[in-house]
Structure 1
Amino acid sequence: MSSENEPANRPGLRGGPSLRSRTARPGRGRKTDTARPRPGGPASPDTPDHDRGAVRTPGRGKRPGAAGSRPGGKGIPKRIPAPRLRWSLLAVAVGAIVAALLTLMLSGFDNNSNLQARSPGGAVAKADKVFASVAPGDCLTWTKPDHSDLVELDCAEEHLFEVTDTVDLSRYPGAEFGPGAVWPDSLRLTELREEHCAPAAQRYLNGRFDPRGKYAVGLMYPSNDGWNNSGDRILRCGLQVPGLSGNPLPNTGRVAEGDQSKVYEPGVCLGISQNLPTDPVDCTQEHAVEIAATVDLSARFPGGPPSREDQDKFLEEECGRTTNDYLGGPHVLRDKTLTVFFDFLDARSWLAGSRKLNCMVGKGADQEGFAPIVGPARGRVLIDGQEPVPPPNSGRSTPTPLPGAAPLPPQPEPRPAPR
């Protein structure tokens, strides 16, 4: 019988019109009549099989040889005795346990840490162990971008990160860093660095951190995998020498035991990008400035921080003298149309113990910043791709050194822990 949603003239099973039930009118207590089958229409439920033309499908009857089809119960499956069945199941269980133990012995145990180490003693597992055990005062280094070769070493050796503090975000109140919390984005990590690591640097150095000096505050944090899968919430604050390109530079010695002055050795050339100095490069490559000398202001100013005017007056004379000595004579600057630049130390740097500045040789650009130079200042140089043309001799052999702020170290981007 068709439902109420089916069309009344839908063809029946055998090609005739389908039948619809007739419902008694409300209130008369009449029952639903069963429609009589029309000729050629579907059979009613009471029609015998032979009248319906139905055919018994194969397989509905008893098959020859099936259970119960033979006299005397022949063909009934033979049952296994209970004791024998129990011993068989026990043997299977023992075999499965032995196979599992052999597999673990051969392949090693997997862990659920963010390193996903496949076997004990792997390089990544060692890096994870190092990161989990370091404390303030320890020094770390690595060569791979994912820090999977992270090692702790003596701070007297070249390293990239000196730990100043450990922060456990799981102790934060609220659900921001709780189980199931979303991995912090770069903006939030930068806020955490300023909130926790900047004060940690001051505490670590007893209030003598130079924010304009050689070092910058760094942060290492759990990787996305470690955060989500292992629940790692540990941050490591530290100090590092920031490269202007964003990558840290090697350093030797503890920060507290050295001078935080941002200086380079004479002969070092700083690369150029968008007319501004970058990281040290070979002087045969394009660069912005070349370091000519390092001046220690403590010899001239043994007391408190000097004013910027006093520094400029002293450095103009001192950088002019030391640069001429470096280049081989006062005529070199004039003939190569180069200029001497120097920076200054503010009160914060002075109180933190910084006393040194660089004298730099370069060429000011027509607009802002520096012009690209190729070649060492004591040899053949090209400025903006051209040979410098010496100006007419005006009787002044050396251009006046110019105070020019050296590029400040950028705050390094927070870096993920080994993963």
Structure 2
Amino acid sequence: MMTIAMANLFAAPERQRPPAAPGRSPGDGPQALRSLPAPGGPRRTPVHPARRIVVGVLTGALIMLCVATLDRFGNTTVPVLGSFAALPVPEPTEAERLAEIPPPPTTPGTCLNWNRPDAADTTVVDCAQPHLFEQAGTVQLATQTTLPDAGGWRALVNEQCTPVVLSYLDGRYDPTGRFRVGALKPAPSKWADGDRELRCGLQSASRSGALYPITGKVAAQDQSAVHEPGTCLAIDGRTIGDPVSCAGPHAVETVGIVDLSTKFPDAFPTVADQDAFLQPACTRIAGEYAGSPEVISKKKLTVYWDNLTEESWKAGTRRVNCNLAALLPDRSGFAPVTGPVKGDVTVGEEPAPPATNTPQPGVPASTAPAPVEPTVEPTPAPPGPSSPPASQPSSNPLATSALPEPVPGVPVRGAS
């Protein structure tokens, strides 16, 4: 675009040349020597100063036009005249973004949730919403100088966090119930910086360590480890695993729930008293569920039920499951059963292989494991000539968990 100044330059009249001095021809003197053409070459016309200015302005305008064109090409930004403020700011990496997330408070009763397997995105949620961890308190591992391995963490959680959880729940904790003592441990990088804080709390985990979401405060819930009728539990060697489809191999199929408080409203009933009540109750429930007692016998199944320990009773647990299962020929454990009780059933005669499910922590339990020791399910007692097998009291000496190692540089319990 031509500016007013440029237009003025183009419109300026040519300055009049002064007349030659009298008696001197235009070719005389030094000026004449400078204007003489070189021998044998063309004569050069001198460039007028105004034309030099016009050429310079046009050249500068052309350069600016090129820069402006590059600035618009491909939606890129080209720094003009030293202005770097318009340069794009690099996006932070995922690790940098997570490192900027402040750690959640350690207040007892705070409920936490996360989506990443390393729990680096841990946030506080309303306890009325599904969550994976309910904080009970913290402990400082002041005397622990070396970073524990997985077994060491479990021992520390069991030793240090169990008293914290018991105090938090006023002693009403069922160690063989729905909930387990767990902990959020510092990442190795934080441990190297001197972080020795262990966050103790409660979580709901299956036998393999899969995490189940919790809704509501633990203190206000029934801690009974029961399943709804129609639930099948996997076969893990000779013992019980996590919930699976009844169409595939499994150890037991839940057929009902019995509340022991209907028979024993006050004092804790001994295992013998429980069996005397549960045998006829579960036999009736199983027959109604399968269609008849004859169906159960024809499909080579037997009734199996759970018992409560006195510790569970003191914690307020009252409900147990009635199940249908099959025993191995040598009565050494559960036989693999394929198919639901109400359909075609096949009972294996060889022990099943160990379960290999390895779900990820922080996601639905059907696909998620927390690194906890699997619960060892007791082997059912051999049945008598006319009586179904009764289970022994449950045993869960390692009902604790510590979360997995974090992604390098990202702490397990958020950035702190």
Q: Distance in 2 between matches of 1:135 and 1:304?
A: 36
Q: Secondary structure at the match of 1:370?
A: coil
Cα 1:300–1:124, aligned 2, differ >3 Å: closer, same or farther?
farther
Q: Secondary structure at the match of 1:166?
A: strand
Q: Output one character per residue of 1:369-401: Cα deviation in whole Å (capped at 9) or x when no partner.
A: 111111111111111189xxxxxxxxxxx9733
Give 1:153 deviation, angstroms: 1.9
Give 1:123 deviation, angstroms: 4.6
Q: Distance in 2 between matches of 1:361 and 1:187?
A: 35
Q: Distance in 2 between matches of 1:326 and 1:124?
A: 53
- Opposite residue 291 of structure 2, the aligned amino acid is G
- Opposite residue 276 of structure 2, the aligned amino acid is K
Q: Distance in 1 between matches of 2:207 and 2:100?
A: 31
Q: 1:259 matched to which residue of 2?
A: 222
Q: Structure 1 residue 383 and structure 2 residue 340: aligned? A: no
Q: Structure 1 residue 289 and structure 2 residue 252: aligned? A: yes
Given that 1:338 and 1:363 are in contact with CA atoms closer than 8 Å, whether structure 2 keeps it comes out as yes
Q: Distance in 1 between matches of 2:92 and 2:300?
A: 68
Q: Distance in 2 between matches of 1:107 and 1:184?
A: 38
Cα 1:330–1:225, aligned 2, differ >3 Å: closer, same or farther?
same
Q: 1:225-240 counterparts in 2 under 5 A?
A: 225-228=189-192, 230-240=193-203
Q: Output one character per residue of 1:195-232: Cα deviation in whole Å (capped at 9) or x when no partner.
A: 3210011101101111222211111101112222x433
Given that 1:285 and 1:375 are in contact with CA atoms closer than 8 Å, whether structure 2 keeps it comes out as yes
Q: 1:351 aligns with which of 314, 317, 339?
A: 314
- Opposite residue 185 of structure 1, the aligned amino acid is D
Over the matched positions of the two proteins, sequence identity in percent amounts to: 39
Q: Secondary structure at the match of 1:194?
A: helix
Q: 1:17-416 counterparts in 2 under 5 A?
A: 106-107=89-90, 117-118=95-96, 122-123=97-98, 125-126=100-101, 129=102, 131-169=103-141, 172=142, 176-177=143-144, 181-228=145-192, 230-367=193-330, 368-384=332-348, 400-405=387-392, 408-409=395-396, 410-416=398-404
Q: Distance in 1 between matches of 2:98 and 2:92?
A: 15
Q: 2:362 matched to which residue of 1?
A: none
Given that 1:372 and 1:384 are in contact with CA atoms closer than 8 Å, whether structure 2 keeps it comes out as yes
Q: Distance in 1 between matches of 2:319 and 2:339?
A: 26
Q: Output one character per residue of 1:292-338: Cα deviation in whole Å (capped at 9) or x when no partner.
A: 11000001101110111111100001101111111122221111110
Q: Distance in 2 between matches of 1:254 and 1:408?
A: 25
Runs of 5+ unmatched residues, structure 1: 1-98, 111-115, 387-397
Cα 1:109–1:269, aligned 2, differ >3 Å: closer, same or farther?
closer
Q: Distance in 2 between matches of 1:340 and 1:124?
A: 53
Give 1:108 deviation, angstroms: 8.0
Give 1:247 deviation, angstroms: 2.6
- Opposite residue 291 of structure 1, the aligned amino acid is T
- Opposite residue 331 of structure 1, the aligned amino acid is E
Given that 1:124 and 1:418 are in contact with CA atoms closer than 8 Å, whether structure 2 keeps it comes out as no
Cα 1:141–1:369, aligned 2, differ >3 Å: closer, same or farther?
farther
Given that 1:319 and 1:401 are in contact with CA atoms closer than 8 Å, whether structure 2 keeps it comes out as no
Q: Which has the higher contact order (CA 8 A, sep 6+)?
A: 2
Q: Output one character per residue of 1:16-67: Cα deviation in whole Å (capped at 9) or x when no partner.
A: xxxxxxxxxxxxxxxxxxxxxxxxxxxxxxxxxxxxxxxxxxxxxxxxxxxx
How many residue pairs get matched? 289
CA RMSD of superposed structures (Å): 2.9
Given that 2:157 and 2:400 are in contact with CA atoms closer than 8 Å, whether structure 1 keeps it comes out as no
Give 1:408 deviation, angstroms: 4.3
Compare 247-256 and 312-321 and name the one that shifted more: 247-256
TM-score, normalised by the number of residues in structure 2: 0.63
Give 1:268 deviation, angstroms: 0.5
Q: Secondary structure at the match of 1:237?
A: strand
Give 1:156 deviation, angstroms: 2.5
Runs of 5+ unmatched residues, structure 2: 1-81, 351-384, 405-411
Q: 1:47 matched to which residue of 2?
A: none
Given that 1:215 and 1:260 are in contact with CA atoms closer than 8 Å, whether structure 2 keeps it comes out as yes
